[in-house]
Amino acid sequence: MECTHKTEHEGAARRALENMPPEEEVARVAATFKAISEPSRLKILFALRHGEMCVYHIVEAVGGAQSAVSHQLRLLKACGMVRSRRDGQNILYSLSDEHVVAVLELACTHLHCKL
């Protein structure tokens, strides 16, 4: 394979090559977006936008089995999108920082999603 339009887009191609982030960084960014790319997890994040909630209420809001929600919460926590704290028998989850909120806002703004 070879390129026939030698000069026209060389600039873009060269800059793309020079500025490609290292594999590790690409993987990290991809992993972050992966968290919001599954409906079940996205619903959890949508729910938590309204404040700190225990697992019971999260299950109530997003549907599905408690076990499934718990597994997803673990993933979300592992990639830093939510955090948790214990309160008696309950464990309360919340969005971990403003970055997460920003991503959700973006989803709504740019995808015409009424929230």
Q: Which residue type does 28 have? A: R
Number of H helices, E strands in the chain: 6, 3
Instruction: Identify which of 73, 74, 17, 20 has the alpha carbon closest to the alpha carbon of residue 43.
Output: 73
- Which one of its own copies, DNA, none is in contact with 71 (Cβ closer than 5 to 8 A by kind)? DNA
The binding track of 16-55 with respect to DNA, each residue x by CB under 7 A or -, is ------------------x---xxxx------------xx
Angstrom distance (rounded) from CA 93 to CA 47: 10
Which residues lie near its own copies (CB under 8 A)?
1-5, 9, 11-13, 15-17, 19-21, 23, 25-34, 36-39, 42-43, 46-54, 56-62, 66, 87-90, 92, 99, 102-103, 106-107, 110-111, 113-115
